[in-house]
């Protein structure tokens, strides 16, 4: 049997790693004027409303100005797996010339969502005319691809407890990067269970344990990370980078 060699790197040699990214915001902020020039209008999606699904033609993309949406897939058993969140300054669905997957996927408004509508055909033209837009779209795809690699390892080898802690830690990282004073996660236990592939009952039990240890506080539909350092001690190494 072939064994991969062990690679030892000192602290100075080790390259810093970016955190896995499933929450996208402010990615296209500086390109908003370009989108406004070619937009066909604005649209508001109410909380719980479908923004798109694979069962309908995908002929537009949405530059989110306000609110939060989630991208999920549905297994034939009916189980839901949420993969990504898109907030202000995120473009979704990101451009794709082929949407023929045998997979039921959808993007839903987690909160009320307002954004700029741009036809997919026009986005394709703009990507060819503006290299910076093309690079930004490709970078978004790369971030999503990298997260899927992380998530496959996370789901395969980490316990339910670690997966929940990983999710809370990563989400709080995005809040910190956005300049938030508090690390508030405005998601229900059911929504978290769809992300980490853990039952809602297990999620509730794990959150209760973390609350007793003063790692988090919670109220209906909101979780606040109170002790990020302690939370990090429960996370896996690939989450901390």
Burial status of residue 78 (CB atoms within 10 A of its CB: 0-12, 13-18, 19 or more): exposed
**Nearest C-alpha neighbor of 174 from the set 55, 57, 97, 85:** 85
The percentage of the chain sitting over the pLDDT mark of 90, rounded to a whole number, equals 66
- Domains contained in the chain, number: 2
Specify if 45 maps to a domain.
Answer: yes
pLDDT exceeds cutoff 80 at 119:
yes
Structure confidence at residue 1 as a pLDDT band (50, 70, 90) = very low
Out of 151, 180, 203, pick the residue that ends a domain. Answer: 151
Dihedral of alpha carbons 72, 74, 78, 80, sign: negative
CB 22 within 8 Å of CB 85: yes
Burial call 192-201: b when 16+ CB within 10 Å, e when fewer:
bbbbbebeee
- pLDDT at residue 221 in the model: 77
pLDDT tens, position by position, 223-233 = 999 999 999 99
**CA 40, CA 56: separation in Å to the nearest integer?**
19
In a shared domain, residues 38 and 82: yes
Out of 120, 151, 182, pick the residue that ends a domain. Answer: 151
CA dihedral 97, 27, 131, 43 (to 10 degrees): 50
Specify if 57 maps to a domain.
Answer: yes
Which CATH number covers residue 118? Answer: 2.60.120.10
Structure tokens, 118: 């741009």
Q: Which whole number is the average pLDDT over 132-152?
A: 93
In a shared domain, residues 80 and 143: yes
SS3 assignment for 48-91: CCEEEECCCCCCEEEEEEECCEEEEEECCCCCEEEEEEECCCCE
pLDDT exceeds cutoff 80 at 177:
no
Which DSSP symbol is given to 158? S
In a shared domain, residues 31 and 107: yes
**CA angle (96 as vertex; 92, 101 as ends), nearest 5:** 100
Written as one string, the DSSP assignment of 82-145 is: EEEEE-TT-EESPP-S----SSEEEEEESS-EEEEEEEHHHHHHHHHH-HHHHHHHHHHHHHHH
pTM, two decimals, is 0.84
From 13-22, 122-131, 183-192, the region with the lowest mean pLDDT: 13-22
Query: Between these two residues, 181 and 110, which has the higher pLDDT value?
Result: 110
In a shared domain, residues 164 and 120: no
- pLDDT at residue 99 in the model: 52
In a shared domain, residues 31 and 98: yes
Residue range(s) defining the domain that contains residue 52: 23-151
In a shared domain, residues 116 and 209: no
Structure confidence at residue 6 as a pLDDT band (50, 70, 90) = very low
Q: Which whole number is the average pLDDT over 29-37?
A: 95
pLDDT exceeds cutoff 50 at 55:
yes
**CA angle (151 as vertex; 173, 153 as ends), nearest 5:** 120
Specify if 95 maps to a domain.
Answer: yes
Q: Which whole number is the average pLDDT over 134-154?
A: 93
Q: What does pLDDT average to over the chain? A: 87
Neighbours of 166 (CB within 10 A): 25
Could you give the C-alpha distances from 49 to 103, 156, 211, in angstroms and in order?
A: 20, 32, 31
Query: Between these two residues, 141 and 177, which has the higher pLDDT value?
Result: 141
**Nearest C-alpha neighbor of 22 from the set 161, 194, 162:** 194
CB 180 within 8 Å of CB 215: no
φ and ψ of 50, to 5 deg? -70, 130
CB 236 within 8 Å of CB 167: no
Which CATH number covers residue 195? Answer: 1.10.10.10
In a shared domain, residues 189 and 145: no
Structure tokens, 19: 């955190």
């Amino acid at each position: 049997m072939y064994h991969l060699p062990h690679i030892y790197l000192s602290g100075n040699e080790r390259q810093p790693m970016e955190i896995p990214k499933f929450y996208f915001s402010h990615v296209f902020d500086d390109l908003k004027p370009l989108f406004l020039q070619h937009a066909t209008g604005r649209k508001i999606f109410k909380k719980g409303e479908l923004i798109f699904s694979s069962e309908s033609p995908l002929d537009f993309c949405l530059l989110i100005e306000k609110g939060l949406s989630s991208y999920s897939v549905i297994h034939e058993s009916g189980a839901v797996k949420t993969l990504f969140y898109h907030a202000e300054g995120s473009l979704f669905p990101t451009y794709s010339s082929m949407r023929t997957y045998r997979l039921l996927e959808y993007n839903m408004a987690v909160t009320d969502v307002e954004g700029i509508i741009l036809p997919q055909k026009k986005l394709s033209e703009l990507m060819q005319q503006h290299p910076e837009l093309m690079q930004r779209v490709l970078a978004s795809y790369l971030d999503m691809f990298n997260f899927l690699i992380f998530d496959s390892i996370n789901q395969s080898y980490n316990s339910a407890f670690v997966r929940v802690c990983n999710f809370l830690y990563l989400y709080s990282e995005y809040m910190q990067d956005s300049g938030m004073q508090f690390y508030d996660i405005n998601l229900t236990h059911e929504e978290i269970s769809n992300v980490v592939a853990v039952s809602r009952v297990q999620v509730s039990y794990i959150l209760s344990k973390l609350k007793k240890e003063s790692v988090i506080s919670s109220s209906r539909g909101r979780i606040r990370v109170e002790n990020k350092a302690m939370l990090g001690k429960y996370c896996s190494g690939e989450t901390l980078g």
